[in-house]
Structure 1
Amino acid sequence: MDHLKTLGIKFIVTGIAVYSLFGILFNTTLINLFFISLLVTGISYLIGDLYILRRFNTFIAIIADYVLAFLSLWILGSLFLTQAGLPILALSAMAAFFITLCEPFIHTYIKENFSSDEGRNIQVRKDLQTEFSEELDGNSAGKKQKRNDE
């Protein structure tokens, strides 16, 4: 369920960037923009968040997310939209920048909700007991024994 929530947040961020930049400048259908947003979200989540973020730190994952978003927006924009060339390249760079601005928040959410021990198969015993005893030093141990003997 947490994966779907994370994908939803990521899709909203990507969708806003794609609809705002690509939708204004290109005369295209909302279905094309929806598929571009959906594919960019899926690629970025699978490669950037599930693979790179778990193996490296957040900074490297953010750089990788920018590169993934830029390349996927550029390629998908060239495939789905009729006009190819420099405007799609520039818009892909701007949209990837705006998507990347939200990535630290998404990475924080992922780190808080997905334990790093998930893939390690660590078993925790929950039936442990605590042992209680009185603290004894050398002098008090002998005195207590003498008192008990009397």
Structure 2
Amino acid sequence: MNLKALGIKFIINMIIVFSIFGIFYDASLVNLFIISVLTTAVAYVVGDLFILRRFGNVVASISDFFLAFVTLAMLGIIFIQTDMPIVLASLFAAFFITITEPFLHAYMQEKGPDEKSTRPLTRGRYQTEIAEESTPNRITRKTDKRRDPTK
């Protein structure tokens, strides 16, 4: 897990959630913090660890928009009690989160996976390794006498 990228993602999500939901709705700071944490966790696990590594930056950025929208809308309905529609604010917040995602994805791809994370799938691009022995030819077959230096 790349903790620095996760921290950057959390700060971006927190700024956007606090700005949009905090200004237009009467929501407590604790609820906005919980929404930020859960949105970051879902987007990081599904979008960055799964989709980004398998499909690339463009597909991950597009899927992050829908993922952020659905997550923010559901969490907004659960945590924010209001008469105004949450969907429009979730749409704006997802849009602003999606604008920042390609930069975060480029940073994550540049840094590469950590030691503990798994390697990305290669989709059938296998490479064989061919090398000659670098040690002297001491062990030979009994039938090949011309290569045996002792006989």
Q: What TM-score, normalized by structure 1, do the two folds share? A: 0.74
What one-letter code is carried by the residue in structure 1 that aligns with 2:72? L
Matched with 1:44 is 43
1 CA distance for matches of 2:110 and 2:119?
17
Matched with 1:103 is 101
2 CA distance for matches of 1:20 and 1:113?
29
Conserved? CA contact 1:40–1:69, under 8 Å: yes
> What's the RMSD between the two structures over aligned residues?
2.4
Secondary structure of residue in 2 paired with 1:83: coil
1 CA distance for matches of 2:60 and 2:83?
29
Offset, 1:27: 1.1
Residue by residue over 1:86-112, the C-alpha shift from the partner in whole angstroms, topping out at 9 and shown as x without a partner, is 3x1000000000000000110011101
Matched with 2:89 is 91
- Structure having the higher helix fraction is 1
Q: What TM-score, normalized by structure 2, do the two folds share? A: 0.74
Residue by residue over 1:41-99, the C-alpha shift from the partner in whole angstroms, topping out at 9 and shown as x without a partner, is 0000000000000000211000111111000000000000002663x100000000000
Using the aligned pairs only, state the percent identity.
47
Offset, 1:116: 9.4
What one-letter code is carried by the residue in structure 1 that aligns with 2:78? L
Change beyond 3 A, Cα 1:115–1:29: closer
Runs of 4+ in structure 1 deviating by more than 6 angstroms, as ranges, are: none
Considering only CA atoms, is the larger Rg found in Structure 1 or Structure 2? 1
Matched ranges for 1:51-66 at <5 A: 51-66=50-65
Change beyond 3 A, Cα 1:42–1:115: closer
What one-letter code is carried by the residue in structure 1 that aligns with 2:46? I
Matched with 1:78 is 77
Matched with 2:118 is 119
